[in-house]
Chains A and B, each alone.
Chain A
């Protein structure tokens, strides 16, 4: 990405030209923020059907009011775990059941966090503690698909813009589901939007053998383990996809 930006370099002393920054020209961080928004907008569209389903589930669960539902949605920022939790609450389950199920469904976030940690290492404390809230399948996928987020400032701007935009769209769609769900028409083909996003991000990576091996192993094992409850088979598939690299001494770093 070309920014064409003049920024002040503290090592340039009294160079008067370097001391002036044209605020009308987007800086590297602004450019990264714009990339974050543009990358995530198709993702926002793709998650709307799922978010509406969650909104309808909240509206049909008497134990969860609309306000609590929206607050929980903001807190979870994770549709599959929230939907599982809503189902458990509707069935009268207690705190331990919801906590345990959520931990199983979201265990893959541990792996995403570990993979993203180098991007967070040189960030300010507030960002390291708060911004992981945006770690989810889609944000992980788009952020790791880019190779121009090397500087902490660029990654910070990109991550906040992408995560914030997706979060706002997500909450707006859930709210719409709560309010309008019962009268919305059924569009089952839209249910393909979520896997389509992952195909769009995965398929171009498969041009390299390094990506084909973990993808193939993970897909086969995830299918074989799909009988497991609460999405646990997905986690088993992901971990299986990492095993060849774990056993390869050439991949140590």
Chain B
């Protein structure tokens, strides 16, 4: 019973966080400077996620070296092609290659 209630609580708080600034307190009522900064949320969040993944030892990869190689290769492909699938495939291939060599 407790595990079910705990997971329901987790689901409920996640939903409230999602709707908070969409329905409960619409973000267009926020101060102008805060709304002006919202354009930066995407680049900031994505960069923070990537950096955190690297510093935490590459997640399931288990070592920052293959992850660093993957970041370099995937970044170059993304810069040249702006293609999501090509970036993901090349990055994973680079990680697999470095892991096999090390």
Q: Chain B residues near A145 (CB, 8 Å)? A: 42
* CB contact under 8 A between A109 and B9, given known A114-B30, A196-B88, A222-B48: no
In the complex, the answer to whether A107 meets B17 with C-beta atoms within 8 Å is yes
In the complex, the answer to whether B42 meets A141 with C-beta atoms within 8 Å is yes
Cβ proximity bits B1-30 to A, threshold 8 Å, 1 near / 0 not:
011111111111111011111110011101
In the complex, the answer to whether A219 meets B48 with C-beta atoms within 8 Å is yes
Chain B's nearest CB lies how many Å from the CB of A144? 5
In the complex, the answer to whether A129 meets B19 with C-beta atoms within 8 Å is yes
Chain B's nearest CB lies how many Å from the CB of A71? 8
In the complex, the answer to whether B84 meets A226 with C-beta atoms within 8 Å is no
Q: Chain B residues near A89 (CB, 8 Å)? A: 3, 6-7
Cα distance A199–B77 when bound, in Å? 10
Would you call A245 an interface residue if the criterion is a C-beta within 8 Å of the partner chain's C-beta atoms? yes
In the complex, the answer to whether B84 meets A201 with C-beta atoms within 8 Å is yes
Q: Chain A residues near B18 (CB, 8 Å)? A: 109, 112-113, 132-133, 135
Binds B, one of A14-22, A23-31, A166-174, A184-192: A184-192
In the complex, the answer to whether B45 meets A106 with C-beta atoms within 8 Å is no
Chain A's nearest CB lies how many Å from the CB of B20? 6
Indicate which residue in B9, B62, B99 contacts A98 across the interface (CB closer than 8 Å): B9
Q: Chain B residues near A223 (CB, 8 Å)? A: 51-52, 54-55
Chain B contributes a number of interface residues (CB within 8 A of A) equal to 74
Chain A's nearest CB lies how many Å from the CB of B26? 6
In the complex, the answer to whether B45 meets A199 with C-beta atoms within 8 Å is no
Q: Chain A residues near B3 (CB, 8 Å)? A: 63-64, 68, 89
Indicate which residue in A117, A218, A249 contacts B47 across the interface (CB closer than 8 Å): A218
In the complex, the answer to whether A219 meets B79 with C-beta atoms within 8 Å is no
Cβ proximity bits A194-235 to B, threshold 8 Å, 1 near / 0 not:
111111111111100011111111111111001000010110
Which residues 24-38 of B sit at the A interface, judged by CB distance below 8 A?
26-28, 30, 32-38
Chain B's nearest CB lies how many Å from the CB of A253? 5
Which of A39, A49, A107, A241 has the largest number of chain B CB atoms within 10 A? A241
Residue ranges of A at the interface with B (Cβ–Cβ < 8 Å):
39, 42-43, 45-46, 49, 53, 63-64, 68, 72, 75-78, 81-82, 85, 88-89, 93-95, 97-99, 101-103, 106-118, 120-121, 128-129, 132-133, 135, 137, 140-141, 144-145, 188-206, 210-223, 226, 231, 233-234, 237-238, 240-242, 244-246, 248-249, 251-253
The 9 closest A-B pairs by CB, nearest first: A241-B44, A191-B60, A75-B11, A237-B48, A251-B36, A200-B87, A214-B40, A203-B78, A218-B44
19 A-B pairs with C-beta separation under 8 A: A68-B4, A75-B14, A75-B15, A98-B7, A114-B27, A115-B41, A116-B22, A189-B96, A192-B95, A195-B53, A195-B91, A199-B74, A200-B78, A206-B79, A215-B44, A222-B47, A222-B48, A222-B55, A237-B48
Extra inter-chain contacts (14) besides given A75-B14, A81-B10, A121-B28, CB under 8 Å: A88-B6, A102-B13, A113-B19, A188-B60, A188-B62, A195-B50, A199-B91, A202-B42, A218-B44, A219-B51, A241-B40, A242-B38, A242-B44, A245-B40
